[in-house]
Each structure stands twice: as structure tokens, then as C-alpha cells.
Structure 1
Amino acid sequence: MRHTLPIAPQFYVTAPQPCPYLPGRMERKLFTALQGEGAQRLNDGLSKQGFRRSQNVLYRPSCADCAACLSARIDVADFTPSRTQRRVARRNAHLERQIASPWATEEQYALFRRYLESRHASGGMADMDTFEFAAMIEETPIRTRVVEYIDPETGALVATSLTDILDDGVSMVYSFFEPDMPRASLGTHLILDHVEIARESGLPYVYLGYWVPGSDKMGYKAGFSALEVYAGDRWQRVRDPDAFRARAHPLVNDPIAEQVANISLPDTGTVRRRG
């Protein structure tokens, strides 16, 4: 009988490129492939350490002179919506939530295009075609769902979230919504409803992606109570958002080799492998 040993993931670093969130800064990412029968365990384990999924890749910011991007999640048990957020929930209570397997549709892509052209016309995804969109939705080696929100009066799709199911929460990989409904605050509603999804499923966290103090694009996440960020190799409750602005200083970063050495892998302990 042949026995094979598990292969530890290999970690790599991207070349520096202009940061999309903070002007004048350069970004780079630490990443590894997400594949094989251990993909779900790897995604679960690295998500707890600030990594995010994009198709078959797990990545985490690893910039040379900045650590402003912080992985953020909501502690569902301690979350209390603000007065404004309660109004948003009431305003969108009529929307019907539908959860399905990750399968791309023409209606999703049309909504996605309207969203990008209104909100991120110059962003890195602006030129994404139908095939690339389908890959974003469908290429996943783990438990992933598409969460759609339908207006029952018109039958129109008004919001969508690509959502991973982790062992300790739900992770909002990417979401987009109808830009012609600004009063609905659909982006806020998506997060609030994912808190409900996690609560209904008995899962403790909603992973929101990265919060970037000082970025207008990403600063809204600080408006949710019970927010935690992964900083200093641990999750910390955000009580004063301004306290995290100092992480845009080069001395807060460990060398790449040390960062990789401190990554804990499922079943294999701590990897010590240079990226």
C-alpha cells in the first residue's frame, strides 16, 4: 500500500504595484494556491489568520512599508445594529433572499456591470468579461454559495453576494448591488443580512474582507459594532478606529520569511518555508 505525505502549501509574494486604496503607496500580497482535498481545511485555517479567497488562491496583504489593510469580521453574538442600520433593515425587509450553488447567470453579470460602471469604473475589475465573471463565481474548491436578493414586486435581482461557508462563519468574498437605488443602502443591507445568515446557521462570525483606515472606499466597515480586525497576529476588537491608523508605518511589518514562519497550517502545525 502506498502512503503519501501531505504537501505543505508553498507561499509566494506578488510584485509591488500601486495601492488601490491609499494614494502614493505600493501593495504586494502573500499568497498560496487553494487546491486538493485539504482545500476546505486550509481556507478555514488561513481565514482565521487574515487571509482572503479569490477563486483558487488565498492571499493576505504583505506590503513592504504599510500594514493598513486589516482583515475584518463581525462578532455575531455581540453585534447590535445602529439606529441607521435598523432603518436600512426595515427599508429592505421586502427583499427575498435566495441562496444557491455558485453558478453565474446573465442577470448577475448585467448587475455586476452596472455596479462597476457606477462605483469602480477605473478599478482592476472594470474590464472583466463574462468568462472572467463566471470564473470568479464558479471556480471554488470549497463550500461556496451565491446569495441573491430579489425585489418581489418587479422580480428584479438587486443585490448579490458570493459567500464562502467557513467552520466558524460566513465570508463575503465579493458583493455587488443595484447602483440606482442609493436610498436603499444595499451594501449595508447585505452585511446586516449576512449577520442573520450566520446567526441562523449557528456560526459566530461574518468575515467582511479588508478594512483600510483612511480609505474612503473601505472605511464604512468601521460603522458596524462588534468589529474585530486581525492585527499583530491576533484578532482585536475595534473600539477606537483611529487607533489603527498608525499601522501605515513601515516598522510595523515583520520580514516576509518571519510572516510565513508564523502561519499555522491545519494538521501540520506551523510551516517554516520562505516565500
Structure 2
Amino acid sequence: MHILNQDVEFLEENRTCSYFDEKLSDIRYRYIYSCSTELYQKMLERGWRRFGRMHFVPECKTCDKCVSMRIDVENYKFSKSEKRVISKNKDTKLYIRPPSLTMEHLNLYDKYHRFMNDKKNWPYTAIEPEDYSKSYVEATENYAKEFLYVRDDKLIGVALVDILPQSISAIYCYYDHDYSDLSIGKFSILAQIKIAKELKIPYIYLGYWIQNHFSMGYKEAYTPFEILKNRASLNETPIWKKNEI
């Protein structure tokens, strides 16, 4: 299928669920060669996520456990433990720039996923440069950024982040578990919250949350947050409500 410079939408049905072995999922995809800030904002508000030029949203017929969530930035208060994480990283350098691809990126990405394969049995195959580029580097509109975390002149973490006037979307983060004492994954979200507060951006979209899930449940620590209560099309109004755990 030749889709360059086109907008193509399709539904993949009965695919293996990424979060529950016994379930199947239905995912709607939309390939957008160049997604405007206005369109992307509308899609974020309706539960869509982005990897490269591909956007997607779950439309599972028999399950609604994947819930879109967003942090309420204005009302967010850093806890004592979160302040300790920020303090531990006072010597961690943060660079924010357009997404890029280097051997450091690929090596760290592979190291992270080998670790997660051992720890959580994630599937692992060494990523090819072309695949990394398609997922994380292509479609570098002005809102697409990468947060590079550097310690001892070494890249120890990468977060792919979209920064829009009314939203920050946390796309993906990977890091070096040799520096686990720094909690880089948590520090990355806290850094995004600090930036959102400074820029008066009201929401940070963390993607999908599954309550009590071993891999996705951690997101509920970032309270207060809101959850999407309906599956709204782009022509319908999304309903977001404060979550009460």
C-alpha cells in the first residue's frame, strides 16, 4: 500500500491484546503524513495516541479496560518522595530537542528492552534503525520533541514527548536500569509536569491506564488525573471526568 503524503484510516480487528493474554483487541489506525496541531489536539482529547505518522485508538468490542488519562497540571502537588526524586537528579542534565537517531539511542533502547524482557517478559527483538525512525523520529512537526537525560557524559534516558499549546503527550520513555537509583522514568514525568506548569499547559496525556495492571497501573500515582468516559469521534464531544480511585 502506497500511503506517502496521504491520510489513510483502517481498523485492525481481533489482534492479540498487548496487556491481557486471554483477550483480543480492535485498534483503529490513522496514518497522517503531516498532522496539524489543531487536529492532533482534537485527537488527543478523544483518546488517540501517536507513534511517528501513525495514530491509533482502541475500539475493542468486548473490553474497556484501557482508559485514556490525563494529569491535571494546575492542581498537581509534588509529594515528598517526588521531591526526593527531583533532588536526586539535580546533576542529571536534560536536553530538549527535535527527535533524532544515533547509535546511543539504539543501544540504550535495546538495553532497556532486554532488561524488560528479563523482568516482565516483554517480547524482545533488537530494533532496526528504520523501525526506530518510523516510530519516534519521523513526522517531526514542531510539537515533536525528545527529552535526553545525560549523566557522566552518558545518555541514560530518552523520552519522546509532544508539546502542544494546550497539551503535553508523553509518548514513550526508555532508560538505563544501571541508574535505577535515579528513577529516570518517574523523573521524566515529573520534569514534564514542571515544564507544563511553567508554560501553563493544563494537561499531560499519559496514554492508557489499566487499574491494578502490573505494567500500566503505575500511572495512577500521578494524581489528580482525569479519565475519558466515552469513545467520541472527532465530531462528538469527549467527556472527561476526575478519577476517584
**TM-score, normalized by the shorter chain, greater than 0.5:** yes
CA contact under 8 A between 1:51 and 1:58: conserved in structure 2?
yes
- Indicate which of 229, 234, 241 corresponds to 1:236: 241
Which residue matches 1:130?
Answer: 129
TM-score under structure 1 length normalisation: 0.78
Superposed counterparts of 1:177-256, under 5 Å: 177-232=175-230, 233-240=238-245
CA contact under 8 A between 1:72 and 1:209: conserved in structure 2?
yes
Change beyond 3 A, Cα 1:10–1:104 = closer
Superposed counterparts of 1:251-266, under 5 Å: none
Which residue matches 2:4?
Answer: none
Separation of aligned partners in 1, 2:91 and 2:109: 22
Which residue matches 1:114?
Answer: 111
CA contact under 8 A between 1:22 and 1:214: conserved in structure 2?
no
Separation of aligned partners in 2, 1:76 and 1:207: 10
TM-score under structure 2 length normalisation: 0.86
Separation of aligned partners in 1, 2:170 and 2:212: 22
Larger Rg: 1
Q: Percent identity?
A: 24
Q: RMSD of the alignment, in Å?
A: 2.0
- Corresponding position: 1:15 with 2:13: yes
| Higher RCO (C-alpha 8 Å, min separation 6) | 1
CA contact under 8 A between 1:43 and 1:58: conserved in structure 2?
no
May I ask how many residue pairs the two structures share in their alignment?
Answer: 230
CA contact under 8 A between 1:34 and 1:141: conserved in structure 2?
no
Separation of aligned partners in 1, 2:167 and 2:123: 28
Separation of aligned partners in 2, 1:87 and 1:186: 12
Separation of aligned partners in 1, 2:199 and 2:117: 32
Which residue matches 2:138?
Answer: 139
Shift of 1:200: 2.2
Change beyond 3 A, Cα 1:111–1:141 = closer
CA contact under 8 A between 2:196 and 2:202: conserved in structure 1?
yes
Separation of aligned partners in 2, 1:129 and 1:15: 27
Which residue matches 1:149?
Answer: 149
- Structure 2 stretches of 5 or more lacking a match? 1-6, 231-237
Separation of aligned partners in 1, 2:180 and 2:52: 29
CA contact under 8 A between 1:40 and 1:141: conserved in structure 2?
no
Shift of 1:206: 1.3
Separation of aligned partners in 1, 2:83 and 2:122: 31
Residues 105-114 or 140-149, more deviating: 140-149
CA contact under 8 A between 2:51 and 2:136: conserved in structure 1?
no
State the one-letter code of the partner of 1:239.
E
